[in-house]
């Protein structure tokens, strides 16, 4: 006779998990942008996010600045970086080298993406390149295996993209969910969504994903809805159409203060809608500006864990 299981005697956790908080940053393009970015980083650091993600430019164009930023985040701040990486612009061999370099420098989270072919017709998919994000997830797991001693048998956290509205190249939303499931099966731990402007899009994606067997957390990517120019530009790039009523209100705002008030409230409503649909966290696209992100955060009142602050400049002293 087998011994009775102990599992039923464990109590159900009564405390719900705190809401995860993360920000997206992009590597600066010049010195002025770098100064602005570092002010933003220090302001955002004070909110104790769980991680900050660093984008990887189309076709790896900003590879060096991305790696420099990731290194500085690791050595000069208390922030945990999540490095975006794309198949486009690098061969599989080059990608394996970049992944190794990231791990050697202490990065423990990678957002595995396919990327988009550059608009100027430069290098897209070619010989020796990976075709899909799923292939990159598998490559990261293979590099991780070779470095298991360095990682003390721990795992790299691998994120992938998910789409509340159909990916522009995809035949259907069902296909998008199948792709997400395939990325999970290949080793993805979590997903961050493309922008969306209606919380029901996020809720619907999560419902369809769960029905199809996707179990990983799907974190909503929330964009500050304060700039009509940025909203329109993003619609061109991602194919996601912004709410026309919001665009109209932003365009008709009396001044920048009024525009920001409208945009921040719309962003808070969007994030709250996603949280009401069960979102386990909020990933804020900052565009390297902290003002709107902090305004949104203040109004959101997220339940966050209390952590004692530690920075590399002020290491904790061990008391014997």
User: Does the active-site annotation cover 76?
Assistant: no
Q: Which of 12, 24, 138, 173 is catalytic?
A: 24
- As measured in angstroms, the least distance from the Cβ of 319 to ligand FAD is 42
For the chain, what's the residue count? 320
- As measured in angstroms, the least distance from the Cβ of 102 to ligand FAD is 14
- As measured in angstroms, the least distance from the Cβ of 186 to ligand FAD is 10
Residue in the structure block whose two tokens are 């969504």: 193
Q: Cβ closer to ligand FAD: 83 or 250?
A: 83
Q: Cβ closer to ligand FAD: 196 or 228?
A: 196
Alpha carbon 188 to its chain centroid, in Å, reads 13
Q: Cβ closer to ligand FAD: 175 or 233?
A: 175
- As measured in angstroms, the least distance from the Cβ of 103 to ligand FAD is 18
- As measured in angstroms, the least distance from the Cβ of 138 to ligand FAD is 11
For 113, 161, 189, 226, the CA distances from 267, given in Å and listed in that order, are: 25, 20, 26, 8
Q: Cβ closer to ligand FAD: 55 or 267?
A: 55
Q: Cβ closer to ligand FAD: 57 or 250?
A: 57
- Binding residues for ligand FAD, rule: CB under 6 A, are 55-56, 58, 84, 86, 111, 113-116, 132-134, 161, 167, 169-170, 175-176, 179, 182, 192, 194, 221
Paired tokens of 24? 């997206």
Q: Cβ closer to ligand FAD: 176 or 295?
A: 176
- As measured in angstroms, the least distance from the Cβ of 11 to ligand FAD is 36
DSSP the chain: -PPPPSGGGSPPP-SPPPPEEEEEE---SSHHHHHHHHHHHHHHHTT--SEEEE---GGGTTHHHHHHHHHHHHHHSSPPEEEEEESTTS-HHHHHHHHHHHHHHT--EEEEE-----TTS---S-TT---SHHHHHHHHHHHHHHTTTTTTT---EEEEEE-SS--TT-S-HHHHHHHHHHHHHHT--EEEEPP-SSHHHHHHHHHHHHHTT--S-EEPEE--TT-HHHHHHHHHHH-PPPPHHHHHHHHH-SSHHHHHHHHHHHHHHHHHHHHHTT-SEEEEE-TT--HHHHHHHHHH----------BTTBPPPPP-
Catalytic residues: 24
């Amino acid at each position: 006779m087998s011994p009775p299981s102990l599992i039923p005697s464990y109590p159900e956790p009564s405390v719900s998990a705190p809401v995860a908080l993360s920000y997206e940053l992009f590597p600066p393009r010049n010195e002025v942008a770098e100064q602005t970015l570092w002010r933003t980083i220090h302001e955002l650091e004070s909110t104790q996010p769980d991680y900050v993600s660093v984008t990887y430019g189309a076709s790896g164009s900003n590879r060096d600045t991305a790696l420099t930023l990731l290194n500085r985040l690791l050595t000069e701040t208390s922030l945990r970086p999540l490095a975006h990486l794309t198949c486009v612009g690098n061969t599989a061999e080059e990608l394996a080298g970049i992944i190794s370099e990231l791990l050697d420098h202490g990065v423990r989270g990678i957002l595995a993406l396919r990327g988009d072919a550059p608009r100027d017709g430069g290098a897209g998919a070619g010989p020796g390149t990976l075709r899909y994000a799923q292939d990159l997830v598998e490559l990261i797991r293979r590099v991780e295996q070779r470095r298991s001693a360095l990682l003390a048998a721990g795992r790299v956290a691998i994120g992938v993209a998910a789409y509340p509205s159909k990916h522009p190249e995809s035949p259907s939303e069902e296909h998008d969910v199948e792709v997400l499931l395939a990325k999970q099966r290949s080793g993805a731990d979590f997903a961050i969504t493309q922008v969306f402007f209606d919380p029901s899009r996020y809720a619907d994606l999560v419902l369809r994903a769960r029905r199809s067997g996707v179990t990983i957390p799907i974190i909503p990517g929330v964009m500050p809805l304060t700039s009509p120019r940025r909203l329109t530009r993003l619609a061109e790039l991602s194919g996601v159409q912004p709410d026309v009523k919001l665009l109209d209100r932003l365009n008709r705002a009396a001044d920048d203060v009024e525009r920001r008030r409208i945009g921040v409230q719309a962003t808070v409503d969007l994030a709250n809608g996603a949280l009401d649909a069960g979102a386990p966290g909020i990933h804020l696209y900052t565009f390297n500006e902290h003002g709107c992100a902090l305004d949104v955060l203040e109004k959101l009142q997220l339940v966050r864990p209390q952590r004692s602050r530690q920075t590399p400049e002020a290491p904790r002293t061990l008391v014997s």
